Structure 1
Amino acid sequence: MTLLSVENVGFSYGAGRRVLKDISFSVPRGSNVGLVGESGSGKSTLLRLLLGLDAPQTGRILFDGQPLEAKNRRYLREYRKRVQAVFQDPYSSLNPAHRIQRIVTEPLRSLKIGGNHLEMAREAIASVGLDADTLTRYPHQFSGGQRQRIAIARAIIARPELVLADEAVSALDLSTRVRVVDLFQEISENMTMVFVSHDMGVVAALCDQIVVLDRGHIVEAGATAEILRTPQHAYTQSLLASIPRMPIET
């Protein structure tokens, strides 16, 4: 069953700056889909549309069969209970003035989700492999990989159906990147994920399907194993050949 559907989406920044052109793909419930492309491919703009920060100028985005209403605040509040994000930089995405408990539970407060927030925070922190005493500390007391784990805990504490990850391992060193990708694989067993990255190797290690973007167009899309085995488009071939990748099993 399809959870997220992007249908003929187009978007421009002013006259003559068309960033997305006729973008269409779907995300089956329970799968991991990677959006891959270099800088300028349109990944970041597409992510903004999926987050409801901007609305498509042409086409539409459907979530669970219903149009994503980016200009409807009431709709977006409910949407964000079901869709959360993990961003690129684990150093800037956590407020240094707040303890980890306050940071991790922020979605519960902003979305007015009830329950025992402390217990929910402990559960979320444990699920990303950190100790409960993490909650009493501050971001500067953790490494980059640990901070990204905290950011992931914040994203999953409300138990969303979909997680949007934006270059979520690119700021990490290689060994830490491998561990965080493993963590994403674990949590994706219970939710759907869209993973935005310029690194084909990371996406190949994590995602069932790949959508390749180049200058606002989808140039290739399909099952990860098939694209790795026989990439059809020259741009996909260049990504596989030239981008530094994590070791993966094929």
Structure 2
Amino acid sequence: MTSGSPGLHGRALTRRYDGHTIAVDEVTVSVAPSERVALVGASGSGKSTLLRMLLAMETPDSGDVTLDGAAIRPGPARSTRWFRREVQYVPQDPGSSLDPRRTVLDSVAAPLNWLRCEGDHRAQALAALDSVEVAVSMAGARTGELSGGQRQRVAIARALACRPRYLVADEPVSGLDLPLRDLVLDVLETVCARDGTASLLVTHDLAVAARTSDRLLVMADGVIVESGSTTGVLRSPQHTHTRALVDAVPRLPVLSRP
């Protein structure tokens, strides 16, 4: 991997808290154009901290983040606007990122204005809502009136409205029941495949990772302990942390394939 290679890259990222507690320890990670990657690990493994650094939401103590060779670090909105157009984020809890007083349409259209995207923002927002199967009749509803599954789909629509090349999702189906989880995952897979959008999905759920990724990264104690094709890693896990994760989910669909 070179700093100028296409894709979203984090090189030797390290983050300490309180000056000595290491959350992420010299981790190198990359997402190539159109690639589907899952990052899995137990709670406290460092996944969320790594994610925040890749999203330029948190400054690493050492290491760097680049997009297509251009360095990116947290900074004023003006300096990171180009990056936000290319890399969008779906949070774990859309309720914390959606203003409950705003309408669905306004919530999806607002980033288009802030990011200075060209075109008809209303039409683009409606198209994004349609892509995640949110009916036009819901456009005038306030986000605070929506169900959990509806809010998550609105959060995905908002992230996709500017047609980013990279989508980063943090536990996007955590807390949803099985039918809603399947619906949200279907939406993510369909839209990313249609637009050629690369995805980095952070999850503790190996079943979700098996369904949504081609390449799997396993994180433990602040480092990547195993990586490879999703099928290969799940069928033949090498690291003790990976084996423990796989053993905890005996009915992984990828393990039952011929």
* Aligned partner of residue 169 in structure 2, secondary structure: strand
Equivalent residues, number: 250
* CA-to-aligned-CA distance 1:9-68 (integer Å, 9 cap, x gap): 111112221111110122111011111111111111111111111122212112112222
Mean Cα displacement is larger for which, 236-245 or 25-34? 236-245
Letter in 1 for 2:215: Q
Select which of 206, 212, 215 maps to 1:206.
Answer: 212
Q: In 2, distance between residues paired with 1:195 and 1:207?
A: 8
Aligned to 1:4: 8
Aligned to 1:222: 228
Contact 1:88-1:171 within 8 A present in 2 as well: no
- Sort the Cα spacing of 1:127 and 1:246 in 2 relative to 1 into closer, same or farther, 3 A: farther
Aligned to 2:56: 52
For structure 1, list consecutive stretches of 5 or more residues without a partner in the other structure. none
Aligned to 1:177: 181
Mean Cα displacement is larger for which, 210-219 or 68-77? 68-77
Q: In 2, distance between residues paired with 1:175 and 1:245?
A: 18
Aligned to 2:147: 143
Q: In 2, distance between residues paired with 1:141 and 1:69?
A: 36
Select which of 25, 32, 35 maps to 2:36.
Answer: 32
Aligned to 1:192: 198
Q: In 1, distance between residues paired with 2:104 and 2:166?
A: 23
Select which of 107, 110, 123 maps to 1:106.
Answer: 110
Task: Provide TM-score, normalisation by structure 2.
Answer: 0.91
Q: In 2, distance between residues paired with 1:144 and 1:45?
A: 25
Letter in 1 for 2:58: D
Aligned to 2:138: 134
Contact 1:178-1:246 within 8 A present in 2 as well: no
CA RMSD of aligned residues (A): 1.8
Task: Provide TM-score, normalisation by structure 1.
Answer: 0.94
Aligned to 1:85: 89
Q: In 2, distance between residues paired with 1:138 and 1:245?
A: 39
Question: How many angstroms does 1:127 deviate by?
Answer: 0.6
Q: In 1, distance between residues paired with 2:249 and 2:106?
A: 38
Question: How many angstroms does 1:155 deviate by?
Answer: 0.4
Contact 2:24-2:50 within 8 A present in 1 as well: yes
* CA-to-aligned-CA distance 1:91-140 (integer Å, 9 cap, x gap): 33321111111111111122222321111111111111121122111124
Question: How many angstroms does 1:241 deviate by?
Answer: 1.6
Q: In 1, distance between residues paired with 2:213 and 2:6?
A: 16
- Which portions of structure 1, spanning 4 or more consecutive aligned residues, are displaced by more than 6 angstroms? none
Q: In 1, distance between residues paired with 2:44 and 2:230?
A: 22
* CA-to-aligned-CA distance 1:189-226 (integer Å, 9 cap, x gap): 12111101111110111011111110101100111010
Q: In 1, distance between residues paired with 2:172 and 2:95?
A: 12
Mean Cα displacement is larger for which, 114-123 or 38-47? 114-123
Percent identity of equivalent pairs: 38
Select which of 125, 128, 135 maps to 1:121.
Answer: 125
- Sort the Cα spacing of 1:94 and 1:74 in 2 relative to 1 into closer, same or farther, 3 A: closer
Question: How many angstroms does 1:184 deviate by?
Answer: 1.0
